[in-house]
Amino acid sequence: MEGYRYYQGKQLRCGFTTGSAAAAAAQAAMAAFFGERVPDEVIIDLPAGGTLKIEINTVRVREGYTIASVIKDGGDDPDITHGIEIFSKISIREDNKVNIYGGIGVGTVTKPGLPMKVGMSSINPVPMKMIENEVRKELPAGKGVDVEIFVPEGEEIAKRTLNPKLGVLGGISILGTTGIVKPMSEEAFKDSLAIELKMLLAENPEKEVIFVFGNHGKKFIKEKFDTDEGKILVISNFVGFMLDRACEYGVRKIFFAGDLGKFVKVAGGIFHTHSRMSDAKLEILTANALLAGEERKNLLKILNSNTTEEAVNYVTKKETFTLLAEKAKEKCQEYVRRNGAEISVETLIFASGGRELGRSKGWKL
């Protein structure tokens, strides 16, 4: 199957996940072991239905085991695992069990909060099922198989991923919920943020978290407040998505800090803050400055500013920023209540350079 999607007017080619690569290599190794064929390509089943044809790179048949490999193809997605070689080694058992584990270059889970238990190989549940499904297609009745997934480049590549932060050490993770990589999609990034939140909460009985948009926010919190760095989570632009996950995972309190350019959007009820999704920050800032009693000449300067950083210079009514913080708090709490959750939210807004502008009245971090 060759798929495409459109992003910003361009046709981009879809790829396949590390899970699909491992499953295809395992099927090829099984077919070669039992002497039916040494395949140049295989067809695997996708978790959501449909099939995918994947080219096999190498097959090596040895006494007692077989190894096959696939070159991971991320399509037109900027995928750090694109082009790496993923191997499956199979050896037969004299029972009907399928035992799947990671070898060199596949990470080991060392912290709770991931779908896999501590001490297990970082092969996610969906890829695990895909691999088992593909080997069982070729497995004779009464036989079992050990499947080792290994990635020679995995340990080095993993250093440029979130794995070390997530407590996955020694290599990459074998991932994929659909089997397909959609180029330029946000899904993988959002999934990783959800995992980070779940892991943070696993070591946080108070269920209290600190959301920031980026590393500037993280630095601000670390420098200005005496708090546990392990509670800080960088959520990027995905405010609504992460509030949904907070409701789902039982968060009790959120301290949410951010720069004015992002936070003013939240105060306006915007829960995806990327500029391509929303760009009404100067209008929202102007409206709140008006409510705070700002003079008309300053309102016009604010509205016609190039950036919120410039606009700050024209705000003489500093209560504007307290008003924005309170409105952002209100919008977030309304959002979680619509999900049936009761999460306490407190907010803080800062300017570039780390200067605090305003905070909600209940902020006590």
Write the DSSP assignment of 91-160 as a string of letters: EEESSS-EEEEE-TEE-EE-STTSSSPTTSBSB-HHHHHHHHHHHHHHPPTT-EEEEEEE-TTHHHHHTT
Global pTM? 0.73
Residues 309-356: tens digit of each pLDDT:
899 999 999 999 999 999 999 999 999 999 999 999 999 999 987 899
Residues 59-103: tens digit of each pLDDT:
999 989 999 999 999 888 778 899 999 999 999 998 889 999 999
Domain boundaries, the chain: 4-181, 187-359
Superfamily of domain 4-181 in the CATH hierarchy: CbiD-like (3.30.2110.10)
* Strand boundaries in the chain, DSSP class E: 4-7, 10-13, 15-16, 41-45, 51-55, 58-62, 65-71, 85-93, 98-102, 105-106, 108-109, 144-150, 168-169, 171-172, 180-181, 208-212, 232-234, 253-259, 344-351, 355-359
1 falls in which pLDDT band (50, 70, 90)? very low
User: Among the ranges 4-8, 246-250, 349-353, which has the highest mean pLDDT value?
Assistant: 246-250
* Per-residue tokens: 316: 């003489």
Position with higher pLDDT, 117 vs 347:
347
Mean pLDDT of 204-217: 93
What is the dihedral angle through the alpha carbons of 174, 178, 180, 182, rounded to the nearest 10 degrees? -110
